[in-house]
Structure 1
Amino acid sequence: MSSISTTTPLSDDEYAELDTLLAAPALAGRAMDVSMLEGFLTAVALSPNAIAPASWLPWVWDKAAGKAAPEAGEDTERASVLAQRHHAYMVEWLAKDPDSFEPIYECGPEWSVPAWCAGFLLGTTLDKPQWAALGVSHPHYLAPFQHLATASELDDEAAEKAMDGVTPSVIAINAAWARQRHLKQSHSGATVLREVPKTGRNDPCHCGSGRKYKKCCADADAATAAN
């Protein structure tokens, strides 16, 4: 196990190493690549319900069914360590400095935009009730990922508009659920990473939708606090 802090971001060399490990012949093409993995872990980290590695790791090895587990070995253990470290970093990044978020595909053409967005959408299936409710209340938040996940061309106007919307959508989704995560952490006695100011029912919603709080996230926050 690496002695590096679990919140240390992966280096460029470690991203490349992880991509190679996930492409190993023993995984028979079933595993995610790094592009898909980072989109997937972004959605997992955004969820207001904490999702344990035991729930998301099987999907890394088998992106189609989330069932096949590889045989234990040094390579799979190393890939697991790197993936979990990246997940831990994503959680902290979105909690402490979400406005600086950027997807990995903005760092170089070697990372795939459609794969990243397909991974993001797959990550939303691990907490279906929360994401389904968000899709109803704020469908425009999910629209960029839905468009790009199946895009065959990335240089047309619609694709470029969707790409411009990915980062703002991640930041907006994070803001929409920040209060829910805060309430869960407070209720469980866990350490709260950041304070979220109380929102009055007639105030603008903390998620940034522009709607009044009582018409937007109030019911979801109340349900979370009651659990």
Structure 2
Amino acid sequence: MPSPKDNELLTTLTEAELDELATFLESDAAPIQSMDISMLHGFLTAQLVGPEELPPDTWFGLVWGERGEKPEWESRAQQERIEGLILRVYNHLTDELNAEPPSFTPLVYLDQERNLDIVQQWCYGFMLGTSLNPRGWKPMMDDEEAMQLISPILDCSDEEAREQAEAAGEDLAQFEHDLAAALPEVIPTIREYWQERTEARASHSTRGSRTRH
């Protein structure tokens, strides 16, 4: 697998390239359990805003599902092409999150009849991303105030929570649309939470080392 920092992987995908990746993910060549493009975007986002950035070798196989299946590549060139597109999405997300101010935008579908964003698949991907490091994410999950940032994403991805909300009369389509609109602010805030914890630990460690004799 190419390094995510290789120069040729640092360019932003064109609309045509994004369509190419989306089409492959839903093609017969990809395993049936493969992520679609929106789920992939949520999954990669979780890797970049969480307690630690896991190396691609740790998570890349899950793009094709949890059964360890692989795509039916036509050639080595096709494999390198598709894997390269995935890593370019990852790098573009990094650039969006590092921008000042962050320019993050979730990649979601659109209900054309109601002109509402559909964010469920994105949320599935994000929560799957957090599940790769449950111990790392635990402080946030146990923090009542911070958990409010993730709760809507969790509820959107959880079928039981969706059924309960629908039974209570909530318009799930409107809920998803509102959540999609909130994510450009929520996601950088989640990232800031972990950055502040990391900085606090580093500061505490430095002070501790200075007091030793």
Matched, 1:70 2:88: no
Instruction: Give the 3-state SS of the residue equivalent to 1:67 in structure 2.
Output: coil
**Letter aligned with residue 131 of structure 2:** T
Query: Compared with structure 1, are the counterparts of its residues 66 and 57 closer, same or farther at alpha carbon in structure 2 (3 Å cutoff)?
Result: farther
Q: Counterparts in 2 of 1:14-25, with a 5 A limit?
A: 14-25=17-28
List gaps (5 residues or longer) in structure 2.
Answer: 164-170, 209-213
**Contact 1:144 1:166 survives alignment (8 Å):** no
The alignment covers a number of residue pairs equal to 186
Tell me the equivalent position of 2:147. Answer: 139
Query: Compared with structure 1, are the counterparts of its residues 163 and 75 closer, same or farther at alpha carbon in structure 2 (3 Å cutoff)?
Result: same
Query: Compared with structure 1, are the counterparts of its residues 36 and 112 closer, same or farther at alpha carbon in structure 2 (3 Å cutoff)?
Result: farther
Query: Compared with structure 1, are the counterparts of its residues 118 and 24 closer, same or farther at alpha carbon in structure 2 (3 Å cutoff)?
Result: same
Distance in 2 separating the partners of 1:98 and 1:128: 29
**Contact 1:42 1:90 survives alignment (8 Å):** yes
Distance in 2 separating the partners of 1:94 and 1:15: 19
Q: Counterparts in 2 of 1:1-227, with a 5 A limit?
A: 5-62=8-65, 65=66, 67-72=68-73, 73=75, 74-97=77-100, 99-105=102-108, 108-109=110-111, 112-137=118-143, 138-150=146-158, 151=162, 154-156=172-174, 158-179=175-196, 218=200, 222=204
Deviation at 1:31, TM superposition (A): 0.8
Deviation at 1:38, TM superposition (A): 0.4
Larger Rg: 2
Deviation at 1:154, TM superposition (A): 3.5
Deviation at 1:161, TM superposition (A): 4.5
**Letter aligned with residue 107 of structure 2:** I
Instruction: Give the 3-state SS of the residue equivalent to 2:29 in structure 1.
Output: helix
List gaps (5 residues or longer) in structure 1.
Answer: 184-217
**Letter aligned with residue 125 of structure 1:** S
Q: Percent of pairs identical after alignment? A: 27
Distance in 2 separating the partners of 1:45 and 1:163: 18
Q: Output one character per residue of 1:82-140: Cα deviation in whole Å (capped at 9) or x when no partner.
A: 0011112212321233532111227x558841101100111111221221211111110
Distance in 1 separating the partners of 2:55 and 2:16: 26
Query: Compared with structure 1, are the counterparts of its residues 79 and 109 closer, same or farther at alpha carbon in structure 2 (3 Å cutoff)?
Result: farther
**Contact 2:64 2:71 survives alignment (8 Å):** yes
Relative to the length of structure 2, the TM-score reads: 0.73
Q: With CA pairs under 8 Å and 6+ residues apart, which has the higher RCO, 1 or 2?
A: 2
**Contact 1:9 1:85 survives alignment (8 Å):** yes
Query: Compared with structure 1, are the counterparts of its residues 98 and 69 closer, same or farther at alpha carbon in structure 2 (3 Å cutoff)?
Result: farther
